[in-house]
Structure 1
């Protein structure tokens, strides 16, 4: 579809409401105003007017806002019509607007996409609009707003500027090899490069925090039947989310709960007890449990403390540990401490965390909550932080890898040309975050995930 078309969409959620808003952007927005309102409203003033049908009859009356381009959200002429929020009224008004030639319904995210294409927002800021709408906590909303206001982009642009300065210095060293001073070995380039690497590491750490706020942490509770998995889910959720009985195999499907620990989103998944099942329904539930385990950020290996004294997961259930994905973090949870009399708390056993608690009484559950937060490196105080997406983390990681490769070329063979190329690639990775260097296919995928009308 052409970006020269004039687009229209409902900017408020579907259904009944006190107010319903239609947004129009493009060259024909002026014509829509003159046709539906009978005049062009004063720019950036709220004008209370009747909304007219093609035959001159009144469809509704409400507030009209006129934002002539380029001083608008999209950079184009924008008209907003704020009427009554009944779906029938809004549908009639939308049909009326679409009778004007050259208008079409906007694609999801197309208003934000046009703002990006018209340099009103960079790509990270545009993504922050969707993140602000989807924020699941106050902290996530504040961080998304920081990103929308340019906090993340400013950090990235600072890195890009530093790389530009460094590339100029390296190119000068390559172009003037006969100078008395060997620029590649005098230590200045290495110092500048180390500064950029340190700054990038700091941004990556903040981005990981921002990604946790946005994406959350996926934690799967797994173990044998009757180990107390559903009781732990209920204890973490603070409500009876799962049925708890003494009958082995009560949980036959995946149960999900979304909670927050001091602002960190947590996706807790309770799974069917793992065993050799003869029942077909239970067998399917166990297979789904393994699918969730393979996609987890961390597994809580639930152990009935009354059945074994072992604390090393390899001793408790070697076949289970052998099937787990490589490098998947495990926390052993020895349950039923209220019966065994074990000392509550957190300890380390052969590179694995061990938490002793009672899911039934709730004793020790707070220790597990703090452990989950700390294991992901989550910091409660993120004033001035920003949200980040997986693509941002990937771009930052690739940029860091290119800088390390470039440093190796500098310190090893003093290969200025290879260092310059690694710096260029790192700069390209960073520019993908703000959209200075981004493929059309990626743009399509990003904006298609937005709400219609945004």
Structure 2
């Protein structure tokens, strides 16, 4: 296997830049560059020199011996001064050694997976942690990265294997000292796993929303002040405001952090009938995005009704609050009246939606668990039909076990791995 290397920090000038080297020749190559390496899991200050002995930089050198490293292989990290010239020189030098090459995107993490240091769900958690922009995203990604879902999957897998083994023992050893009626224990095992799978599947949508962000659509008639409200909520001029009705034709999106939750505010076209073909398309798009949004804010003129039926959690506000003494939900994007209350309202509603988040954070996780549950429920149905159907029930459980193994990346995941690791940066 090749020894791989890459810059593990962002490209460009910095205070410190880190080069990571992993593989069977990591210690040998880095010894040639810096001399004696420090003891495992410790650091030392060393001079970095090329093969001709020319001084390149002074670096803090960290050494990790496999399997006690991130990748499970021998690893060395060089913490260099963050000069572009130094980084380029060190990378060129590492590439000159036989058996060493620049790492591909995500290859360090992929080796950690291949060497049993992480499961596939943890890999996804690491990718989510790197992408995290809000506190809720950070906490959720860390929880996934900790391996708690993988541990749960292992528990489910053991229970299904135990249930299948009991039924197969009844089939294969019916004439020996093996209890014939194993249905009570098998049913208890399967029902427990089914209950936990169902709960995790239900929590996937909320968890995925925390990962990708909630959408909040601002809905109302033309010229009611939607763009002004968006700009005030976002704290910047994100949308064009005008006294001309129908200025907003497309959906304008603004990403923001509300109480630690990732939120995308949507400023939509004014809802009205129009003979303008482009405006009509904008209204249709607005209605589609509003329908798919997690929360809708209806901004109305005093005395008007919403253009369509609000959902229970939706917010109704009355615009141009700067022209009236009416209390909240009267609001003004111009003066800021009611903005703080609106943000608190949005936060409370979305926190309630996020409260049901489970451990599974991707649609892939939900599909795998649904497949596992499908085999499990079929097995329960066959179990109720008696011992003559135990062989079929055991076969269904094996399909369920297979789905759980796919979930954590033990089998049948090559194409999936290529897709997942393509999102990683080189050096991770």
TM-score category, normalised to shorter length: 0.7 to 0.9
| Pair 1:293–1:67, CA change in 2 (3 A) | same
Secondary structure in 2 aligned to 1:250? coil
Separation in 1, partners of 2:330, 2:187:
51
| 1:140/1:387 contact within 8 Å kept | no
Match of 1:352 in 2: none
Structure 2 Cα separation of the partners of residues 404 and 181 of structure 1: 23
The match for 1:447 is 421
Provide the secondary structure at the position in 1 that maps to 2:5.
strand
Aligned counterpart, 2:365: 392
Cα 1:59–1:292, aligned 2, differ >3 Å: closer, same or farther?
A: farther
Deviation at 1:207, TM superposition (A): 4.3
Tell me which of 386, 390, 395 is aligned to 1:421: 395
Q: What's the counterpart of residue 152 of structure 2?
A: 155
**CA distance in 1 between partners of 2:167 and 2:224 (Å):** 61
Q: Distance in 1 between matches of 2:370 and 2:204?
A: 11
Deviates more, 1:36-45 or 1:232-241: 232-241
Q: Secondary structure at the match of 2:42?
A: coil
Instruction: Please state whether the residue corresponding to 1:245 is helix, strand or coil.
Output: coil
Task: Tell me the number of residue pairs that the alignment of Structure 1 and Structure 2 aligns.
Answer: 419
Q: How far has the Cα of 1:277 moved from its partner? A: 5.9
Q: Which of 100, 116, 119 is the matching residue for 1:119?
A: 116
How do 1:132-147 and structure 2 match up within 5 A?
A: 132-147=129-144
The answer (yes or no) to whether the contact 2:216–2:297 under 8 Å persists in 1 is no
TM-score in terms of structure 2 length = 0.84
Which of 409, 412, 415 is the equivalent residue of 2:382? 409
Is 1:201 the counterpart of 2:175? The answer is: no
Please show how residues 88-99 of structure 1 align to structure 2 within 5 Å: 88-99=85-96
What secondary structure does 1:313 align onto? coil
Q: How far 1:242 moved relative to its partner?
A: 2.9
- 1:247 matched to 2:225: no
- Indicate the residue corresponding to 1:101 in structure 2: 98
What is the Cα deviation at residue 140 of structure 1? 2.5
Structure 2 residue 308 is the aligned partner of structure 1 residue 313: yes
Q: Specify whether residues 162 and 37 from structure 1 end up closer, same or farther in structure 2 by C-alpha distance, changes over 3 A only.
A: same
User: Residues 405 and 11 (structure 1 numbering): CA distance in 2 closer, same or farther, change over 3 Å?
Assistant: same
Aligned to 2:268: 271
Residues 227, 302 of structure 1: alpha-carbon distance in 2 compared, 3 angstrom cutoff = farther
CA 63–132 in structure 1, closer or farther in 2 if over 3 Å, else same: same
Task: Give 3-state SS (helix, strand or coil) of 1:453's partner.
Answer: coil
Q: Which TM-score applies when normalising by structure 1?
A: 0.80
Alignment partners' CA distance in 2, 1:358 and 1:292? 23
Match of 1:379 in 2: 355
Match in the other structure for 2:34: 37
Task: Say if 1:128 and 1:387, in contact at 8 Å, map to a contact too.
Answer: no
Is the 2:216–2:293 Cα contact (8 Å) retained in structure 1? Answer: yes
Alpha-carbon distance change, 413 to 44 in structure 1, aligned in 2, over 3 angstroms: closer
* Contact map agreement 2:248 2:269 (CA 8 A) in 1: yes
Cα distance in structure 1, aligned partners of 2:275 and 2:57: 64
SS at match of 1:425: helix
> What is the CA–CA distance in structure 2 between the aligned matches of 1:410 and 1:342, rounded to whole Å?
65
Which residue number corresponds to residue 52 of structure 2? 55
Deviations 1:13-57 (A, max 9, x none): 111111111111112213321321234443322121111123211
Which runs of 5 or more structure 2 residues have no equivalent in the other structure? Answer: none
Cα shift at 1:244:
3.5
CA displacement at 1:249 relative to structure 2: 1.8
Going from structure 1 to structure 2, the CA distance change for 1:48 and 1:341 (only over 3 Å counts) comes to: closer
- Find the aligned partners of 2:52 and 2:99 in 1 and give their Cα distance: 20
Distance 1:71 1:269, change over 3 A: same
C-alpha change, 1:140 and 1:279, in structure 2 (3 Å) is same
Matched, 1:298 2:294: yes
In 2, the alpha carbon distance for the partners of 1:331 and 1:305 equals 20
CA positional deviation for 1:240: 4.8
**Counterparts in 2 of 1:156-195, with a 5 A limit?**
156-176=153-173, 183=181, 186-195=183-192
Tell me, in whole angstroms, the C-alpha distance in 2 between the residues paired with 1:305 and 1:440.
56
How large is the RMSD of aligned CA atoms in angstroms?
A: 3.4
